[in-house]
Structure 1
Amino acid sequence: MEWRGIAYITLWFLSITSGFLALCCPTVPLMFIYPQAFRYIIGIIFSVWEMYPTILMRLLFNTRFIITGDHINPFDGALLIMNHRNRLDWNFLWGGMYYSSKPPAHKLKMVLKSAIRHVPFAGWVMQLSGFLYIHRRWDHDQSSMEKQLKYFRDVNDTHQITPYNTSDCNLYYFHLLNLKGSSIGVALTFPFCGFILERWGWPYVFYITGMIGMVWFLAWWLFVYDTPAEHPYISEVELVHITSSLTDVVSTKKLPIPWKSVLTCVPFWIALSIQWSTGWALHTLMTQTPTYLVLMFGWNPEKIGLWSGIPHFTRFLFSLALSFVIDSLMATGRYSRTCVRKISTTICTVVQALLIVALVYSGCDQFLVNGFLLLAMTASGASTSGPLSIMVDLSPNFASVLQGFSGIIGVIPGMISPFVLSYFTNDNNTLEAWQHFFALSGVLIAIPGLLYNFIGSSELQSWNSPIPTADPEIADTNGSSTTAKK
C-alpha cells in the first residue's frame, strides 16, 4: 500500500479514537439528563469531523469532487442511495456530501450491518451519532428502526434517511469549537505535561510543547489565509455560501475607524472590563490553582496535571450546551441579544466568582475543592456565548479592532495575578493568605459582570457604519449623520 494510503487510514482512525475519548465520552451523561442537548452537541462534533476526511483526501491524494445536479438542502428531508463497489469507496461520500449540501451543514449517518457497531471506537462513535444498524431481516429491523425514529422525533432531531441518513446541523456554533479549542488544548496539555515532568523534568516540558507549537505554526502558515477567496482548497459552492451569508451590517469595503465613537462608547468600555474579569478568572484558575492544590494536598505533578486538565473538558462541553440554550431563547423572539448575553456573562463572572471563593474556603476537603474547581472552570465556558461575542455584537465592521483591545486587556491579568498572589503569600504561604487572595479575585471578577447587567449592551452601535467624510454634503458626528449647511 502506498504511504499516502497508510497515512490516510492512520490519521482517520486516530481522529476517530481521540474524538471518541476526548469529546464524545464526556457528553454521555447528557444522554440521560438532557437528550436534546446531547444530540445537538454530538451532531456538531460529528458534522465538523466530516470535513476532516475531505481535507485529508484533498491534501494526500489531490482528490477533486465534481457535483452535478441539484444541491441538497440540509434542512429538507432527503433519501440518498449509494451502491458502493468496494469496502473503501464510501470514504468519498464525506466529501461528496460536504460539497453537495448548500449550505454545507449536515450530519451524515449510515445504515450499517449490525456487526459494525462492535468495532472499537469507530463503531462506538457511530452508535453515539445515531447511525442505524440493521440485521437485514425486516421482521427484526422494522421494530428497531421504528424505535430509533421515534427517539429522533421525541428529541426534535429532524433527519433524512437512506443507507445514508442526513440530519440538519446548524453550524452557527462552529466558532465555538474555534474559540474553545484552547480548552481542549489545555485539557490535554496539563496531564501531558504532568506526565513528562514526573519522568524527565521541567526542561522536557518546554522542549516538547515548544516543538508542538512549531508544528502548529507551520500548519497555520501553510493552510490559513486572510480571506476565503484566497484559499486554494475552497470550493466555489463554499465560497458563495460564505460570501452570501454576510449580512448588511458587514461592509464589503474598508471603512475608516471612528476612533472618537469607539473610545467614547460606554458599552465598549464595559465589555473591556468584562474581558479583564474573565481573564483574571481564567489565569487564576489555570496558573494559581495547581500551586494551591500542591499546598493543600501535596499531590505529585502527574495528579495535579490530571485534575487541572479535566475541568477544561467540562468547560468546552458547557460552552456548547449553553450556546444551544441561548440560541433557543433567541429563536423565540422574546429575548434581546443583550438579554441573552447578560445571562452568559452573569454565569462566567458572578457565578464563577462565588465558586472560586467557595473553592478556597472548602479547606482540606478534597471532594469539595475539586468539585468547586470543576464547577468554576465549567462556568467560564459561558464566556463564549457572552463576553467573547460582545465585541462582534457591537460592531461587526470593526470587530478586529475591538477584539485587539479585548485581547490585550484579557491577558494583562495573567501578568498581574502572580504579583498580587506573592503579596499575600510571600513568607506567609498559609490557607488564610490564599483565602484573602481568592476573596479579592472574587470581587475583581464579579464587579464587571454586575456593571454589564446594569449599564451594558450588546446591540449594534450606530458607528458600525460610519458615513464617509469625503462627501462634502455629509459630516460624521460621533456615529450619527447631519446635513452640512449650504
Structure 2
Amino acid sequence: MFTQQMNFSIAMPAMVNNTARPSQPNASTDVPPTDAPDSRNETPQELKAVAPVYDWNPEIQGIILSALNYGTILAPIPSGYVAGIFGAKYVVGAGLVISSVLTLFCPLAADTGVTLLVVLRVVQGIAQTMVLTGQFSIWVKWAPPVERSQLIAIARSGTLLGSIVILSVGGLLCDTIGWPYVFYIFGVIGCASSLLWFLLVYEDPVNHPFMSTGEKEYIMASLAEQGRSPGWSVPIKAMIKSLPLWAILVSAFSIYWRNYIIITYTPTYFNTVLEANFRNSGVMSALPVCVAFPTFILGGQLAGFLHSRNIHRLNTIRKLFTALGVLVPCGLHLLLPWVRSSQITTLAILVVSPIFRNLCELGVLLNMVDIAPRYSAFLRGLSEVFSSLAGAISTTITGYFINQDSEHAWRNVFFVAAAVDIAGLVIYLILGRAEVQDWA
C-alpha cells in the first residue's frame, strides 16, 4: 500500500520538465530535452528512458501530490465504522484491489490531463484509507493487550519497508525504462497482494482453520476484559466531549503535517536542492527509511517491555515516546537550510530524524487503542481524517512556498512545521491519557 502511496513522490522529478519554457499545464513531450544545460538528470553512456514529461510548476505539483490526502479526509470515519461492524477482511481487501488497479491507470491519467489525474488520486486516497483504517479492527480481535504494541509495530513497519522499496527501486526505474513503470510494476504487485490477502487473512482467531486450540483460547481469554465489539452503537456525544481523544487527534494532525512533507518531498529535495540525479535521489531518500525500519520494530519491543514489566505506566511511555519523536526531528530539520551545501551533513540529518520520528507511531498514534479498544478502527479512521487534512494542507503549502520563493522556501517550510509540531505536542502532554475511557 505504501509503495502506491509514495510512487508519485519518487516519479515526480522525472515527470516534470524543469528546463522547458512555461506552457500549458499538461503539455508533454515523449523524450526529455537533450540540450538542457542542467546536467544532473543526465546518465552518460546509458540509454535514456523514453517517457512523457510535463510542464507542471511547483504549485501544480503540490496539488497533485496532495490530492491523495483530499480523498482521505471524509473516507476514514465511514470505512473504520463499516470495518468495525462487518469485518475488516473485505473492507481492507477491496481497498487494496481498487488502489492497485488505479495505480495501473496513473500514467494514462497523467497524459490525459491534470484534472483527471487529481480525480483519480482522490479516489485512490479513499481506497487506501479503507486499508489503513480497517487493519486496526483486525488487531483488536487478534492482539492480546500486553503484546499489542509489539504486534502493531511489526505490522506497521510494512509502511517503512514499502518506502525503502519504492525509493530505492523507483529512481532506478525512472532513470532506465521510464517513470510509467513505477506505476505498472507496483500496481501489479498490489493486485497480487490483494489475492494473497483474501486467501490468507481471517477475521478473528475463532474462524482460523489451522490454529491450535490452546492458542485460540489464550488469545480469546486475554481479550475478554476489553468488551465486545461496538455493533451499531458508537457514543459520538461522549467522544466529542473527551479531552484525551481530542489531544490524540490534534497531535496526529501536527505530526502528520511534517510526515507528509518528508514523505512527499524528500526525493524532490535531493533532486533540486542537492542536485542529485533521479537514481541517486531515490537511493538517498531510501537510506533514512532503511535505518528507521529495524529501529521501528525495536521501538515496539521496547514499549512492550517497559509496559509488561511495569517499569513505566503506559501513559508515561506514550508521552515519552511522543516527545522524543517530535522534539528531536524538529531541531534537526530546522538545521537543514543552513547545511544544504554539505550533502553528507544533510543526509546524516535525514537519516537520524526518522529514527526518532517513528517513536510517535508507538506513542500518541497508538494511543487510541489504549483509550478505546472497542472503537479502535473507528477512532483510527477519525485520526486519519486529521492526518489527511494535515497532509493535504502541508503538501499544498509546501508547493506554494517553493513556487513563490525558491531561495528561502525550505526554511519557511521547516519553521512552519516546527511550530505546528510543538503546539500539538504541548496539547498532548497536558491532556493525553492511556487508560480506557468510561464511554469505551
Q: TM-score, normalised by structure 2?
A: 0.63
Q: Residue 339 of structure 2 is aligned with which of 356, 359, 362?
A: 362
Report if the CA contact (8 A) 2:260-2:395 is conserved.
no
Q: Residue 353 of structure 1 is aligned with which of 330, 352, 358?
A: 330
Which deviations, in whole Å up to 9, do the C-alpha atoms of 1:358-405 show, x marking residues without a partner? 223322111111111111222121123202210011111111111110
Q: Which residue of 2 aligns with 1:459?
A: 435
Give the AA of the match of 2:272: L
2:375 maps to 1:413 = no
Identity %: 26
Root mean square deviation of aligned Cα: 2.4
Report if the CA contact (8 A) 1:347-1:382 is conserved.
yes
> Aligned equivalents of 1:179 and 1:278: distance in 2?
16
Greater relative CO, 1 or 2 (CA 8 Å, sep 6+): 2
> Aligned equivalents of 1:231 and 1:324: distance in 2?
26
Q: Which has more radius of gyration?
A: 1
**Which consecutive unaligned segments of at least 5 residues does structure 1 have?**
1-104, 106-169, 465-486
Q: Which residue of 1 aligns with 2:256?
A: 279
Q: Residue 440 of structure 1 is aligned with which of 411, 416, 420?
A: 416
Report if the CA contact (8 A) 2:261-2:398 is conserved.
no
Q: Which residue of 2 aligns with 1:377?
A: 354
> Aligned equivalents of 1:439 and 1:388: distance in 2?
23
Q: Which residue of 2 aligns with 1:97?
A: none
Which deviations, in whole Å up to 9, do the C-alpha atoms of 1:276-315 show, x marking residues without a partner? 1222222111111221111222111111111111211222
The 5 Å alignment of 1:68-83 reads none
Give the AA of the match of 2:181: Y
Q: How many residues align?
A: 297
Report if the CA contact (8 A) 2:329-2:353 is conserved.
yes
> Aligned equivalents of 1:368 and 1:231: distance in 2?
50
Q: Residue 293 of structure 1 is aligned with which of 240, 248, 270?
A: 270
Q: 1:324 to 1:218 in 2, by over 3 A?
A: closer
Deviation, 1:171, is 8.4
Report if the CA contact (8 A) 1:286-1:308 is conserved.
no
Give the AA of the match of 2:321: S
The 5 Å alignment of 1:115-134 reads none
- SS of the aligned residue for 2:166 comes to helix
Deviation, 1:316, is 2.3
Report if the CA contact (8 A) 1:318-1:382 is conserved.
no
Report if the CA contact (8 A) 2:288-2:350 is conserved.
yes
2:246 maps to 1:264 = no
Deviation, 1:255, is 6.8
> Aligned equivalents of 1:171 and 1:249: distance in 2?
13
> Aligned equivalents of 1:340 and 1:427: distance in 2?
42
Q: Which residue of 1 aligns with 2:215?
A: 238
**Which consecutive unaligned segments of at least 5 residues does structure 2 have?**
1-142
Deviation, 1:333, is 3.2
Q: 1:235 to 1:333 in 2, by over 3 A?
A: closer
Q: Which residue of 2 aligns with 1:338?
A: 315
Deviation, 1:252, is 5.9
> Aligned equivalents of 1:221 and 1:323: distance in 2?
27
Report if the CA contact (8 A) 2:255-2:424 is conserved.
no
Give the AA of the match of 2:368: M
